[in-house]
């Protein structure tokens, strides 16, 4: 079984910019409920179907499967909740960890969030100077919720 341990933070400043090149992502939610969310994502020339279990703090179940690109595009166009999540993802190496920074576009323009994946929930890590408030437990920042209530409507 796949498990994701991820913590999410807002950014204090643009000190991370220039440390990585971004890649465009587009994703849409086919279902999101109490037990799980189901999304289709196109990123880096690949399409995937992803199922994430309900969030329990920083830990949740996660499963991901490849999809044919044509199927993914069709699902995003016809089945996914609108607006789609559009973002540029940057990977920044810092003190032995990879920080993924998502700069959102479209209906979520202006939102920038950093995530770090850990091996254990209690794993220690150094926080870069450009990292701000932790929002791991704030459901407004879950991508599935950003598809339902975009940042532009907060």
Which residues are part of the catalytic machinery?
Answer: 29
> Are 114 and 131 a contacting pair, CB within 8 Å?
yes
Half-sphere exposure of 56 (CA within 13 A, CB side): 9
Burial 15-27 (b: 16+ CB within 10 A, else e): ebeeebeeeebbb
Measured CA to CA, the distance from residue 27 to residue 91 in angstroms comes to 18
Residue 30: other Cβ atoms inside 10 A: 15
Alpha helix (H) residue ranges in 3-127: 69-78
């Amino acid at each position: 079984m796949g498990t994701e341990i991820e913590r999410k933070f807002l950014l204090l400043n643009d000190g991370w910019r220039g440390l990585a090149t971004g890649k465009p992502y587009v994703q849409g939610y086919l279902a999101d409920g109490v037990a799980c969310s189901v999304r289709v994502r196109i990123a880096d020339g690949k399409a995937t179907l992803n199922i994430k279990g309900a969030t329990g703090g920083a830990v949740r179940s996660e499963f991901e499967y490849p999809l044919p690109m044509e199927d993914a595009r069709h699902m995003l166009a016809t089945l996914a909740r609108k607006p789609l999540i559009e973002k540029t993802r940057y990977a920044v190496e810092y003190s032995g960890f990879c920080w993924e920074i998502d700069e959102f576009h479209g209906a979520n323009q202006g939102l920038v969030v950093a995530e770090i994946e850990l091996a254990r929930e209690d794993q220690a890590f150094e926080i870069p100077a450009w990292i701000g408030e932790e929002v791991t437990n704030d459901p407004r920042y879950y991508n599935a919720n950003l598809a339902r209530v975009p940042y532009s409507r907060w």
